[in-house]
Amino acid sequence: MKPSPTASATALRRGPRESGSIARSEFIVGYPPVKESPRILVVDDSQEILTMLSHTLSRHGFLIDAATSSEEALARAATAAYDAAVVDLVMPGQDGAALASALRQRIQGLPVALMTAYARSPLLVAARKAGVRVFAKPLSIQELVTFLQSEIP
> Which residues are CB-neighbours of 4 under 8 A, at least 6 positions away?
30
The answer to whether residue 25 sits within a structural domain is: no
Structural domain of 109:
39-151
Query: How many beta carbons lie within 10 A of that of residue 14, not counting itself?
Result: 10
The answer to whether residue 15 sits within a structural domain is: no
Strands 84-88 and 63-67, how do they pair? unpaired
The answer to whether residue 16 sits within a structural domain is: no
CATH code for the domain of 93: 3.40.50.2300
Residue 122 has pLDDT above 80, yes or no: no
The answer to whether residue 28 sits within a structural domain is: no
**Structure pTM?**
0.74
Number of domains composing the chain: 1
Closest CA to 77 of 85, 129, 35: 85
The answer to whether residue 58 sits within a structural domain is: yes
Strands 63-67 and 22-29, how do they pair? unpaired
61-100 burial, b at 16+ Cβ within 10 Å, e below that, comes to: ebebbbbbbbeebbebbeeeebbbbbbbbebeeebbbbbb
Residue 9 has pLDDT above 50, yes or no: no
Q: Report pLDDT for 24.
A: 52
Length of the chain: 153
Residue 19 has pLDDT above 70, yes or no: no
Question: Is 86 within 8 Å of 115 (Cβ atoms)?
Answer: yes
Chain segment 76-90, per-residue pLDDT in tens = 999 999 999 999 998
The answer to whether residue 6 sits within a structural domain is: no
